[in-house]
Chains A and B, each alone.
Chain A
């Protein structure tokens, strides 16, 4: 009987604790401080059938592009604060500037600017699933095309 009398208060207490824990976890998940931006620079071509073993994890994504060969030229990661800018040097005198915009629904919104010297080539804003990537390709290089894998991971 004593336990039954305590039951409603215990249920309430446990519920509040659970909600508080979920709230804290949710808040932590929704307010990352920085973003880890990774740029993989890949040279795609049709001269041979070479497939760089370092790109094994991206094979399914690269197959979409229908080139015969893929070689990883460079892989660079940088931690960028929200609304902060970070420039990545891309072969051929190009620069890729990334600005993380916001984190919402487990997606990282990034502003991407590709320039060649002073000349802007592309401005785009993309929402990437957290720890996911997208591909920006096309700039010609060494008889092939550059393929940039742009990944973002909120931290």
Chain B
């Protein structure tokens, strides 16, 4: 980018008085010494003047009163509580996806770490009862754990003298596990 191009870029802001003193001085001295940039400046001044004339001629025909009254009405208008609530809720759920990703990750993590509590269909591998302690007072006891049907069996052999509930009830030999 040469000097003229740089000056042309700053020229509109210079003409609008938006440049600082030092920068304005650089642009002004270049425009004074450069014929091309001087011509550009003249075109811009003419264009600005023409636009100003058009706007000045059209402005009286524009009715600003309805615009201002409508604006004031909207400012003064009281929003119904349900609309306000709806907009607030919408604002919360319009949170960008990244905001949802973190809680979703936490939920996933909790679910994975405690799947046994939250996802009953994953419990199958740990679905059998566990015998912690057993005391059969000297009688024979068989313990069986069958994985396929998730069955834990404690089988008590009441085969000692005096255990039978009645004379006609012969103790069974017990199942063949």
Question: Contact at A15–B102, with CB atoms within 8 Å?
Answer: yes
A92 neighbours in B (Cβ, 8 Å): 165-166, 169
Instruction: Identify which of A17, A61, A140 contacts B103 (C-beta below 8 A).
Output: A17
Is residue B106 within 8 Å, beta carbon to beta carbon, of the partner chain? yes
Question: Contact at B153–A64, with CB atoms within 8 Å?
Answer: yes
Instruction: Identify which of A61, A93, A127, A138 contacts B174 (C-beta below 8 A).
Output: A138
Is the interface on chain A under 10, 10 to 19, 20 to 34, or 35 or more residues?
35 or more
Question: Contact at B130–A93, with CB atoms within 8 Å?
Answer: no
A120 neighbours in B (Cβ, 8 Å): 137
Question: Contact at A126–B174, with CB atoms within 8 Å?
Answer: no
Instruction: Identify which of A7, A15, A64 contacts B98 (C-beta below 8 A).
Output: A7
Is residue A84 within 8 Å, beta carbon to beta carbon, of the partner chain? no
Is the interface on chain B under 10, 10 to 19, 20 to 34, or 35 or more residues?
35 or more
Instruction: Identify which of B110, B130, B166 contacts A126 (C-beta below 8 A).
Output: B130
**What mask results when residues 124 to 159 of chain B are scored 1 for a CB within 8 Å of chain A, else 0?**
001111111111110101001010111111111110
Is residue A40 within 8 Å, beta carbon to beta carbon, of the partner chain? no
19 sample A-B contacts, Cβ–Cβ < 8 Å, listed by A number? A7-B98, A10-B95, A22-B107, A61-B149, A65-B153, A66-B176, A105-B116, A116-B163, A122-B141, A124-B134, A125-B133, A126-B154, A127-B132, A134-B152, A135-B151, A136-B154, A137-B153, A137-B155, A140-B164
Nearest CB of chain A from residue B170's CB, rounded to whole Å: 7
Question: Contact at B126–A93, with CB atoms within 8 Å?
Answer: no
Is residue A109 within 8 Å, beta carbon to beta carbon, of the partner chain? yes
Nearest CB of chain B from residue A6's CB, rounded to whole Å: 8
A125 neighbours in B (Cβ, 8 Å): 131-134
